[in-house]
Structure 1
C-alpha cells in the first residue's frame, strides 16, 4: 500500500519537483531520523520494535512520513529562488552585506586581475555589480549583459522576451535552470543536515566520530554540489545572452519600435511609467565608489570555521 501511495503521489507532481525538492527532502529526513533514533535507542531494539508493529500501523506511519515530506518539499520548492539568491550572496539587510563584504572585495580583485575578456562569463563589467560568490557573479554577468551591449534592462525585458523564444531555446533554458536548482537544493539540504545532525549529536553527547562524520561529510557535500552548480549556471547565462542577441529585435517589432536605441525609453516606461515620447531622463551617477578593502575567500573562511568548530566541540566534550 505504501508503494501505491508513493506512486499516486509522484503521478501528481512534475519531475522537477521530485528531483529538486521531494527526493532531497526524503533523503535528508531519513538520514536525520536515523541519527536521532540511533542516539535515543539501540538500533537492534528499534528494529525489533518496528517489526513487532501491526502492518496497518506501518502503512500509516510510512504514509505519514511521505505526506510530511511532500509538505516540507513544497515549502522548500517555493523557497528555491530565495535559497538560490542566498547562494548568490544576496543576503538581506545591512548585516548580511557586512558579513559578505570580504568576499565581495576578493571577487572584485579577481575580476580586475582577469580583465573583461577572460572574465566576461564569470563577472559583470561594472565592479560595483560584483557579488561575494562565484555563482552570484556568473548569474549577475548574464543579467548585466543586455544592458552593457544593448541598453536593455534584463529584469524588465526578460518576462516580455521569454514568451517569444522558440521552444528549443526555452527547453535549453529550463534544463540548465533545473540543473542549477538541483545542485543548489542538494547543497542546501546537505548544509541543513550538517547543522541539524551535528547540533543534535553535540547536545545529546553522541560519539565524536559520528559527530565529525555527519558534520564534515555533509559540509563537504554541500560545498561540492555548490561548485557543481557553477557549470549549469554558466550554461544558463550563455543561453540568456543568446536569447537577447537573436530575439531582442522580435520583441521590438511586437512593440512597434525599431533600433536598440529604443531600449532606454522602454526601460523608463516599464520602470517608471514614463510615456515613450518623453525625453530621456539624465542618468543618475549614484553608484557607490568601489574601495580597495581587505578580502578573503568565503570558501576558505567557511572551511576554517567548519573544521575549527568541529574540533572545538570534540575538545569541549
Structure 2
C-alpha cells in the first residue's frame, strides 16, 4: 500500500502541482481582465467552480502523464523538429562536445574544472550519439552508459535490469525521474499559459496589461528547461548505479556466468542484446559458452543419496 501511495504522490508532484499553478495563474490574474470571456464562466469562486478547478487540474495532469514520452521527445529534439533544425542542433552540440573533450584532456583543478566535468558528463561519449538539444544529450548520456562501458544496452534490457536492482536504486530512479517530470511539465504548461495569455490579450483589443502578464510564464518556461537539464544528473547517477550493480545480478538471473575479463563480458552482453532484441540465432548460439553450468547430474549418473540402500539381512 505504501508503494502505491508513493507512486500516486510522485504523479501529483510531477504533473498535478504545475497544472494547478498554471490554472490558478490564469484564473486569478488573467481571466478577471478578460471581460469578453465572462459570459462563458463565473467571475467568482464558488463551490462548483472549485470542483471544476480540481477536475480540470486532474484532467490536465493525467493528459501530461499519458503524453510523457512525446513531450520528452520534443525537448530531446526527436519530434516536431524540422530536418534542418535537427542537423544544425547536432552540428552545434558536436562542436560543444569536442570543445569539452579538449578542455578535459588539457586537465585542470579546482571547482571551475569540476563544473567543466559536470557539463561534459551531460554528453554521450560517442559522437554518433549526439542529438539536437542539450536536454536530449543529457538523457542520451546515461541511456548509453551501459553500452559504452560494458556493451550492455540498458534500454533493451531495462525492465530486466530494473527487476533485479536493489530497492534503494529503484527508489532513487523513480525520485529523480519525478523531479525531471516536474520541470518538463513546467516547460510545456508555462509555454501554453503564455500563448493563452497572448490570445486573451488579442481578444481584449490588444490589452497591453494582459500582454505583460505573458512575460512571467515565458521566464518560468526557460527557467524550467534550464533546471530540467541539470535535474537529469541525479537520474544519470542512479542509472549508472543500476548498470554497475544490476548487471551482476542480471547475468545470474539470465542463467549466465560473468566472465573473468572485461573484454569477454562486453562480448557476452553484446550477444545477449542481439539475442533479446533481434532474436539472432547466431548470438544465441554464442551465448552458450557463457551459460551457467547445470548442477544436475549427467545422464546415466546417479547421485549417491539417490541410490537405493542395500537391504540388510535380518535374522529370523
Shorter-chain TM range is: 0.7 to 0.9
SS in 1 for 2:12: helix
Once the two structures are superposed, residues 170-224 of structure 1 have per-residue CA deviations (whole angstroms, 9 ceiling, x without a partner) of 111111111111111112111111111112213432422430x222221111011
User: Match of 1:27?
Assistant: 21
* 1:14 and 2:8 correspond: yes
How do 1:238-249 residues align onto structure 2 when only pairs under 5 Å count?
238-249=237-248
Q: Output the CA distance in 2 between the equivalents of 1:80 and 1:36.
A: 28
TM-score, L = length of structure 2:
0.74
Q: Is 1:214 matched up with 2:213?
A: yes
Structure 1 outlier segments of 4+, above 6 Å: none
1:250–1:61 Cα change, 3 Å: same
Pick 1 or 2: higher relative contact order, CA cutoff 8 A, min separation 6. 1
* Aligned pair partner of 2:279 in 273, 283, 289: 273
Secondary structure of 2:34's aligned partner: helix
Q: TM-score, normalised by structure 1?
A: 0.73
Q: Report the CA distance between 1:42 and its aligned residue.
A: 11
Q: 1:36 to 1:60 in 2, by over 3 A?
A: closer
For the pair shown, the structure with the greater C-alpha radius of gyration is 2
Shift of 1:23: 2.0
Q: Name the structure 1 match of 2:224.
A: 225
* TM superposition shift of 1:40: 1.0
Instruction: State the Cα RMSD in Å.
Output: 2.7
Which position in structure 1 is the counterpart of 2:83?
A: 97
> In 1, distance between residues paired with 2:22 and 2:87?
31
Output the CA distance in 2 between the equivalents of 1:278 and 1:210. Answer: 68
Within 5 A, what are the aligned runs for 1:54-93?
A: 58-92=46-80
Shift, 1:228, TM fit? 0.9
Partners in 1 of 2:154 and 2:208 — Cα distance? 50
* Number of equivalenced pairs: 258
- Following TM superposition, by how much is the alpha carbon of 1:20 offset from its aligned partner in structure 2, in angstroms? 1.8
Instruction: Supply the distance in 1 between the matched residues of 2:7 and 2:121 (Cα, whole angstroms).
Output: 35
CA gap 1:23/1:152 in 2 versus in 1, 3 angstroms: same
CA distance in 2, matches of 1:59, 1:105: 54
Q: Is the 8 A contact 1:22 1:73 kept in 2?
A: yes
Q: Cα gap change, 1:59/1:263 in structure 2, threshold over 3 Å: closer, same or farther?
A: same
Whether the 8 Å CA contact 1:28–1:190 is kept in 2: the answer is yes
Out of 27, 34, 38, the position equivalent to 1:39 is 34
Q: Deviations over 1:267-289 (max 9, x none)?
A: 11111112344459xxxxxxxxx
| Structure 2 gap segments, 5+ residues each | 105-116, 260-264, 288-316
Inter-CA distance 199–41: structure 2 relative to 1 (3 Å threshold): closer
The alpha-carbon deviation at position 80 of structure 1 amounts to: 2.1
Counterpart Cα distance in 1 of 2:240 and 2:126: 17
CA, structure 1 residues 25+253, in 2 after alignment: closer, same or farther (shift >3 Å)?
same
Contact persistence 1:139–1:234 (CA under 8 A): no
For residue 147 of structure 1, give the secondary structure of its aligned residue in structure 2. Answer: helix
Map 1:134-145 to 2 at 5 A. 134-145=134-145
Is the counterpart of residue 111 in structure 1 residue 97 in structure 2?
yes
Q: Secondary structure at the match of 2:69?
A: helix
The change in CA–CA distance for 1:148 and 1:28 in structure 2 (over 3 A counts) is same
Q: Contact between 2:272 and 2:284, CA under 8 Å: does it hold in 1?
A: no
Q: Within the alignment, does 1:264 sit opposite 2:270 as a pair?
A: yes
Partners of 1:73 and 1:247 lie apart in 2 by 33
